[in-house]
Amino acid sequence: MTAVRPSPFPASTVLGYPRIGPHRELKRALESYWSGHGTWEELEATGARLREETWRRLGALGLGAAPSNTFSYYDHVLDTAVLFDAVPERYRDRSPEDAYFAMARGADGLAPLRMTKWFDTNYHYIVPEIGIDTAFRLAGDKPLAEVREARALGVDTRPVLLGPVTFLLLSQPAPGGPSGFAPLDRLPDLLPAYERLLEALAAEGVGWVQLDEPALVADRTEEELAAVRTAYRRLGALTSRPALLVASYFGDPGDALPALADTPVEAIGLDLVRGRIPENADLSGKTVVAGVVSGRDVWRTRPDRALSALLAVRERAARVVVSTSCSLLHVPYDVERETDLDPALRHRMAFAEQKVAEVVELAALLAASPAPPRPVSPASRRGSEPPTPPPLSGGEPAPSSPVPPSSVPATSVPASREGRSPYAVRAAAQAEHLRLPVLPVTTIGSFPQTGELREARAALGAGRLDEDGYESLVRAEIARVIALQERLGLDVLVHGEPERNDMVQYFAEHLDGFAVTRHGWVQSYGSRCTRPPILHGDVRRPEPITVRWSRYAGSLTDRPVKGMLTGPVTIVAWSFVRDDLPLRDVVFQVADAVRDEVRDLEDAGVAIIQVDEPALRELLPLRRASQDAYLAWAVDAYRRATSGAGDRTQIHTHLCYSDADQIIAAVDALDADVTSVESARSHARLLREPAVGGFERGLGAGVYDIHSPRVPEAAEIEESLRAALRVLPADRVWVNPDCGLKTRTYGEVEAALTNVVKAAHHLRGDHQCRPLTVE
Ligand code: MET
Ligand SMILES: [Zn+2]
């Protein structure tokens, strides 16, 4: 037994808070530091200011317990690796700041660590590398320093740490290790470092620590569940430690819940928006931090539902704390700033600030709700719901009776104009029509977004520039991008997407059923943020969206210019979506709008149309049992969107962070003529998949990691292409970067593409210069 006597957990909390800054202050400070304009001290000062503002704001909103260590200069998984000294040898030869950013972004000649999506969100984390000899130790004091910093401001905080099991499960084995090694094997060696940290926090007088274990909501093996028991029995057995809150989120912990409940941790965090009221574990001795306010959407919480969940949990637990379902990292700061939004819509919405207020109000409602006279069994729960409380202040919750079911037919057979023929037939028609060389070189769509263009867009929005002025700037940029690609010798050109602020937002702005925000930024990775649109109504395309830009680009060159569209799954995945329709029906509505656009592009003479689905894997349910059904309808939606194209029109898709290796069958089922995937950054992991050899259509495994400022050498690119040529026939290999170029500078892009073309031309010599043929 532990000697710890925890002070009770306050009545309300949040699991985490946005950190980029309400005005993206951190983004600006980071980019200024990276460019050499700002100093490290300036960056630190911005960080300190943002942390202070957050703690003060949470206090002002009445929150009982504020988290700390939720701030990060780049990523909290990377912070954890650094904290426990899991820094690969090749990065050590530099200052701590340089090593940190080299792991995140690469540096002179040094590639960064892999980056991938954080569970089913659009946040990306840096994947730590753990080897058999990684020497874990408590090497930093970031969590302690933030506790002290908050305390100096008069705020007591609960440090948030990534839990040891999730940390190791998210890590990848260091290269060159023995086969069969998994980072989780190193748990016994990692735990002492966590112990030292907990002891140090206890010595600092910290009452509670939060250990995040979102990995518990995915399917876990017996061995992994045993690791959960081992970890938390051991940390729980420390005689000098803070009380422990282990937070699961993004779903239901299932079998991991009894495993966790069977350890001495004092509190367990449950996502009650996505997960169920626990029935399978004895929580009578535990505090349950009940996530009833969603950290994943922008809708007001229904107080009746939230309260009945809280009351049901109160029946089973020693104490209930009202909280968010997960960190608020995934929502913007403050909906009140969105003064351009239709007030009726705005009143249905809640961003981080509003969600904190909801948590506080729900805690008050819960405290005021008398305990029911008898235990609530699952069967009787419906009848024992408390009377509906009034809406939480500041807005209206979503209507309590859902709107009627969607009018979208549930067919899995895509409606089509002609219906597409089998690939072999299409490929022959396309080869004839396009006459491309072997190893055709192309890009993923966007070219660098210049400051001039961003300013022009802002000026257009503010009425300082008229439509014609803006249009001519965009046209000039298209002309420049086309000329550049011709000069560099690319085979399939793009118009560069200069008219797009963002690949989803742009379409949302042109489709009915969406609203866009002005300040609703959400961190995607590092300094990168997106402003997810709000999909709140039925989606329709009132008129063609991209056709005039494509037509103009096509008029400037004899080479094919790809039409560039965002796919239905990605448009939905990167938006905040209405919750009154099944997600599938919403995606099908968007697919129909995309199909209209595909047809119009084809009618305008566009011979190649790319429909990007980088988020295909992101929406994949975390539990295997639900994955096939999702993939089936996601593939249907894609085929529906592209089914209007004739055989001669070449359909491309692009998947970058989709971790295509994990869903290769679904990627195949999309039936796109050419698929481009991220590969450079993940060191060609996809190409090592046996299934790739059976991939029967065109494939471009990215040869240039565009998430790093580093320019790859031609020899390196050639090596990547040879790797592709070892598993695929030459006439199906495409040459392209990992992703769009919009975050890079023209200098970097020109140098990199020069090398890409050089490598392709060099190899082309080995594979005879002949038009692409089939069979
Ligand atoms: C995140 S995928 C990006 C694809 C888009 N066509 C671009 O090039 O930017
Ligand atoms: Zn991409």
Interface ipTM = 0.99
pLDDT band (50, 70, 90) for residue 394: low
Given a contact cutoff of 8 angstroms between Cβ atoms, the answer to whether 225 and 191 are in contact is no
Say how many C-beta atoms besides its own lie within 10 A of residue 379's C-beta: 7
Angle between helices 187-203 and 222-236 (to 10 degrees): 30
Per-residue model confidence (pLDDT) at position 405: 41
State in Å: Cα 503 to ligand 1 middle: 7
3-state helix/strand/coil string of 674-690:
EEEECCCCCCCCHHHCH
- Straight-line distance from the first to the last Cα atom of the chain, in angstroms, rounded to the nearest whole number: 71
Cα gap 307→277, rounded to integer Å: 12
More reliable by pLDDT, 679 or 549? 549
Cα gap 720→718, rounded to integer Å: 5
Structure tokens at 226: 């045993």
Decide: 740 in ligand 1 pocket, CB within 6 A. yes
Nearest residue by C-alpha to atom 6 in ligand 1? 445
Angle between helices 76-83 and 142-152 (to 10 degrees): 110
pLDDT band (50, 70, 90) for residue 373: low
pLDDT band (50, 70, 90) for residue 395: low
Scan for tokens 């390196």, then name that residue: 716
pLDDT band (50, 70, 90) for residue 7: confident
Per-residue model confidence (pLDDT) at position 330: 98
Q: Which ligand is nearest to the CA of 676?
A: 2
Decide: 448 in ligand 1 pocket, CB within 6 A. no
Closest atom of ligand 1 to CA, residue 656: 2
Per-residue model confidence (pLDDT) at position 696: 87
Angle between helices 187-203 and 142-152 (to 10 degrees): 20
∠5-10-13 over CA atoms, to 5°? 125
Q: How far is CA 596 from CA 71, 175, 203, 670, in A?
A: 43, 46, 64, 18
Decide: 614 in ligand 1 pocket, CB within 6 A. yes
Question: Among residues 498, 505, 494, 507, which one has the least CA distance to residue 475?
Answer: 498
State in Å: Cα 448 to ligand 2 middle: 14
Based on the residue annotation, tell me whether 433 is a catalytic residue of this protein.
no
Query: 423-450+478-766 maps to which CATH number?
Result: 3.20.20.210
Q: Which helix (H) or strand (E) holds 761?
A: helix 746-766
167-196 burial, b for 16+ CB within 10 Å, e for fewer? Answer: bbbbbbbbeebeeeebbbebbeebbebbbe
Question: Among residues 297, 430, 302, which one has the least CA distance to residue 362?
Answer: 302
Per-residue model confidence (pLDDT) at position 694: 82
State in Å: Cα 678 to ligand 1 middle: 11
Among 274-278, 308-312, 409-413, the least confident range: 409-413
pLDDT digits (tens, 9 = 90+) for 162-203: 999 999 999 999 999 999 999 999 999 999 999 999 999 999
More reliable by pLDDT, 589 or 279? 589
Cα gap 210→267, rounded to integer Å: 9
pLDDT digits (tens, 9 = 90+) for 319-363: 999 999 999 999 999 999 999 999 999 999 999 999 999 999 999
Cα gap 478→143, rounded to integer Å: 48
Cα gap 191→137, rounded to integer Å: 9
Mean pLDDT to the nearest integer, 457-471: 94
Q: What is the DSSP letter of 282?
A: -
Per-residue model confidence (pLDDT) at position 688: 87
pLDDT digits (tens, 9 = 90+) for 251-268: 999 999 999 999 999 999
Question: Among residues 146, 142, 6, which one has the least CA distance to residue 67?
Answer: 146
Cα gap 222→224, rounded to integer Å: 5
Residue 189 dihedral angles phi and psi, to the nearest 5°? -85, -20
Given a contact cutoff of 8 angstroms between Cβ atoms, the answer to whether 251 and 623 are in contact is yes
Scan for tokens 């991939």, then name that residue: 695
Length of the chain measured in residues:
775
Cα gap 289→295, rounded to integer Å: 14
Q: Which helix (H) or strand (E) holds 292?
A: strand 287-293
Decide: 656 in ligand 1 pocket, CB within 6 A. yes
Per-residue model confidence (pLDDT) at position 310: 98
Cα gap 744→448, rounded to integer Å: 6
Residue 190 dihedral angles phi and psi, to the nearest 5°? -85, -35
Per-residue model confidence (pLDDT) at position 370: 85
State in Å: Cα 705 to ligand 2 middle: 10
Structure tokens at 181: 């090694």
Strands ordered across the beta sheet of 650-654: 563-566, 608-612, 650-654, 674-677, 698-701
Mean pLDDT to the nearest integer, 280-309: 97
Per-residue model confidence (pLDDT) at position 585: 98
- Average pLDDT over the chain reads 92
Ion ligand 2, residue ranges at CB < 5 A: 614, 656, 739
pLDDT digits (tens, 9 = 90+) for 163-173: 999 999 999 99
Closest atom of ligand 1 to CA, residue 610: 6
Q: What is the DSSP letter of 538?
A: E
pLDDT digits (tens, 9 = 90+) for 621-646: 999 999 999 999 999 999 999 999 99
For residue 683, which amino acid is it? H
Structure tokens at 635: 């593939």
Cα gap 478→497, rounded to integer Å: 8
Q: Which of 707, 761, 762, 767 is catalytic?
A: 707
Q: Determine the number of helices (DSSP H) and then strands (DSSP E) in the chain.
A: 24, 21
∠706-75-518 over CA atoms, to 5°? 75
Is residue 504 scored above 80 in pLDDT?
A: yes
Question: Among residues 713, 645, 710, 653, which one has the least CA distance to residue 677?
Answer: 653
Residue 254 dihedral angles phi and psi, to the nearest 5°? 50, -125
pLDDT digits (tens, 9 = 90+) for 724-772: 999 999 999 999 999 999 999 999 999 999 999 999 999 998 775 444 4
Is residue 402 scored above 50 in pLDDT?
A: no
Helices (H), 501-626: 505-510, 547-555, 568-573, 583-603
Q: Which helix (H) or strand (E) holds 144?
A: helix 142-152
Is residue 289 scored above 90 in pLDDT?
A: yes
pLDDT digits (tens, 9 = 90+) for 562-596: 999 999 999 999 999 999 999 999 999 999 999 99
Q: Which ligand is nearest to the CA of 570?
A: 1
State in Å: Cα 739 to ligand 1 middle: 6
Per-residue model confidence (pLDDT) at position 775: 36
* CATH 3.20.20.210 domain residues, the chain: 25-70+156-384, 423-450+478-766
With the most atoms of ligand 1 within 8 angstroms of its CB, the residue from 443, 446, 618 to mutate is 446
Per-residue model confidence (pLDDT) at position 371: 75
Angle between helices 451-461 and 467-488 (to 10 degrees): 160
Cα gap 220→635, rounded to integer Å: 27
Cα gap 511→596, rounded to integer Å: 12
595: left (phi over 0), alpha (psi -120 to 50) or beta: alpha
- Percent of the chain's residues with pLDDT above 70: 92
∠153-154-156 over CA atoms, to 5°? 110
Per-residue model confidence (pLDDT) at position 390: 64
Q: Which helix (H) or strand (E) holds 612?
A: strand 608-612
pLDDT band (50, 70, 90) for residue 418: low
Nearest residue by C-alpha to atom 9 in ligand 1? 740
Mean pLDDT to the nearest integer, 296-317: 97
Is residue 408 scored above 80 in pLDDT?
A: no
Beta bridge mates, 512: 540
More reliable by pLDDT, 422 or 775? 422
Query: 25-70+156-384 maps to which CATH number?
Result: 3.20.20.210
Q: Is 76 helix (H, G, I), strand (E, B) or coil?
A: helix
Closest atom of ligand 1 to CA, residue 742: 9
Q: Where are the beta strands (DSSP E) in 151-234?
A: 157-162, 172-173, 208-212
- Percent of the chain's residues with pLDDT above 90: 85
Structure tokens at 399: 């209507």
Scan for tokens 């094997």, then name that residue: 185
Q: Which helix (H) or strand (E) holds 668?
A: helix 664-669
With the most atoms of ligand 1 within 8 angstroms of its CB, the residue from 500, 739, 741 to mutate is 739
662-688 burial, b for 16+ CB within 10 Å, e for fewer? Answer: ebbebbbbbbbbbbbbbbbbbebbbbe
More reliable by pLDDT, 241 or 417? 241
Is residue 416 scored above 50 in pLDDT?
A: no
pLDDT digits (tens, 9 = 90+) for 676-722: 998 887 788 888 888 888 888 999 999 999 988 899 999 999 999 99
Per-residue model confidence (pLDDT) at position 661: 76
Given a contact cutoff of 8 angstroms between Cβ atoms, the answer to whether 610 and 565 are in contact is yes
Given a contact cutoff of 8 angstroms between Cβ atoms, the answer to whether 116 and 618 are in contact is no
Decide: 444 in ligand 1 pocket, CB within 6 A. yes
Is residue 436 scored above 90 in pLDDT?
A: yes
Decide: 586 in ligand 1 pocket, CB within 6 A. no
pLDDT digits (tens, 9 = 90+) for 35-59: 999 999 999 999 999 999 999 999 9
State in Å: Cα 654 to ligand 1 middle: 8
More reliable by pLDDT, 233 or 664? 233
Beta bridge mates, 107: 110
